[in-house]
């Protein structure tokens, strides 16, 4: 998991956590970023140590270090869908996602997060499209 961690991908202003005593430290993205920050940045934002959870209390700042599957591009998404249905689906997606976001997904400027992929899959099913939506490509990335 961490072997391929690239600190350059950490967004500016991402909050780090240096609480190595935390029981969830190994699976926390904030903790992983903190481990790599020592050699990369002189200044970082951190979780205030006075607010670390006590005992078994859940940490409100926990962020899973598990990578998610991000889809890229929707240029061929509606290719195998009947024309009338495809037109209708496109209109619904533009309304739901907004025109700007739809076209950013289309041009691969933004990756399509799992929630949006699920929405598109459900939309296909609701309109009788049994084929699984196929995006242009996929990557595994941290969800910052």
Kindly report the three-state secondary structure assignment for every residue of the chain.
CHHHCCHHHCCCCCEECCCCCCCCHHHEHHHHHHHHHCCCCCCCEECCHHHCCCCCCCCCCCCECCCEEEEECCCCCCCCCCHHHHHHHHHHHHHHHCHHHHHHHHCCCCCECHHHHHHHHHHHHHCCCCCCCCCCEEEEECCC
**In terms of domains, do 77 and 130 share one?**
yes
Provide the residue-wise pLDDT of the chain in tens; the chain has 144 residues. 456 788 989 998 999 999 888 888 889 999 999 999 877 778 889 999 888 887 777 889 999 999 999 999 999 999 999 999 999 999 999 999 999 999 999 999 999 999 999 999 999 999 999 989 999 999 999 998
> Is residue 42 in some structural domain?
yes
Q: Decide if 61 is inside a domain.
A: no
Could you give the number of structural domains in the chain? Answer: 2
Residues 130 and 90 in one domain: yes
8-42 pLDDT tens trace: 899 989 999 998 888 888 899 999 999 998 777 78
- Is 75 in the same domain as 41? no
Answer yes or no: is 60 within a domain: no
Domain identity same for 98 and 132: yes
Predicted confidence at residue 52, as pLDDT, reads 85
């Amino acid at each position: 998991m961490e072997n391929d961690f690239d600190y350059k991908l950490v967004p500016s202003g991402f909050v780090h956590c240096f609480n190595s005593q935390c029981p969830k430290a190994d699976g926390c993205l904030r903790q992983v970023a903190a481990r790599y920050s020592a050699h990369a940045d002189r200044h970082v934002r951190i979780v205030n140590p006075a607010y670390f959870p006590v005992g078994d209390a859940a940490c409100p700042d926990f962020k899973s270090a598990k990578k998610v599957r991000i889809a890229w591009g929707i240029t061929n998404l509606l290719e195998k869908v009947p024309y009338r249905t495809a037109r209708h689906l496109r209109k619904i997606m533009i309304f739901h996602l907004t025109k700007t976001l739809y076209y950013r997904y289309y041009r691969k400027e933004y990756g399509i997060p799992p929630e949006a992929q699920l929405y598109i899959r459900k939309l296909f099913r609701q309109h009788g499209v049994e084929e699984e939506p196929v995006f242009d490509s996929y990557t595994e990335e941290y969800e910052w």
